[in-house]
Amino acid sequence: MKRVAKDEKKAKKYDLMLVNILLPLIQSKKYDFLLGDLFALLDEGYSSHFLLGILSLIYLPLSDKIREMSHKHFIDFDYLPVNEEIIFDDSTLDGAIKMRINSWIEDTIDIVGLEYSNLQLARLGELFDTPVSKKNLIIFVAKIFQFFFSELNIRISPRTAGNYTTFIIDQIMHKIKEIPLEEV
């Protein structure tokens, strides 16, 4: 019972953080396309802190909050979008963009590892091992990935975004599954 109470307290903290982050996102029409998928993933059982990590790619104040909690330096991402739309090509992708994506992956792993809940980690693993749930997550993350690049005036196809995000989410989940569960 103590373990469950402790886990519930942690979950409430991140639920409140999610609400505070979602307010500006909901108020801005440019994020409307994500909200249905986000709420569906919450309904499936994905934890707030995991989804906060995922959203941190497109909302730098969230990344700053995660980095503050992780005692890491804030990200200085000052890449200016190109004037003409370009097609995504990972071999010619600017180093600043690659670093931002790597920081995003790090943020997602970090926020899950901060004050983690045994129950939430177990649930996250179950969801990820469920093909339909994993597919829903990949679709959501691919939309975020596409949005990130579109803000930089870089076009990436849904298929390419899906392939990259599948790889990224697999790497994130591998790291998350390495987090040792506390003894009860």
Q: How confident is the model at residue 12 (pLDDT cuts 50, 70, 90)?
A: low
pLDDT tens-place string over residues 15-41: 666 677 778 878 888 889 998 999 999
Q: How confident is the model at residue 61 (pLDDT cuts 50, 70, 90)?
A: confident
pLDDT of residue 96: 92
pLDDT tens-place string over residues 120-132: 788 888 999 999 9
**Which residues, at least 6 apart from 110, have a Cβ–Cβ distance to it below 8 Å?**
53, 66, 67, 69, 70, 72
Mean pLDDT of 133-147: 96
The total of other beta-carbon atoms located within 10 Å of residue 35's CB is: 12
pTM, two decimals, is 0.85
Percent pLDDT > 70 in the chain is 86
Asked whether 121 and 62 are in contact (CB, 8 A), the reply is no
Q: Name the residue ranges covered by the structural domains of the chain.
A: 2-76+96-177
DSSP string, 67-124: HHHTT-PPP---PPPPSS-EE--TTS--HHHHHHHHHHHHHHHHHHHTT--HHHHHHH
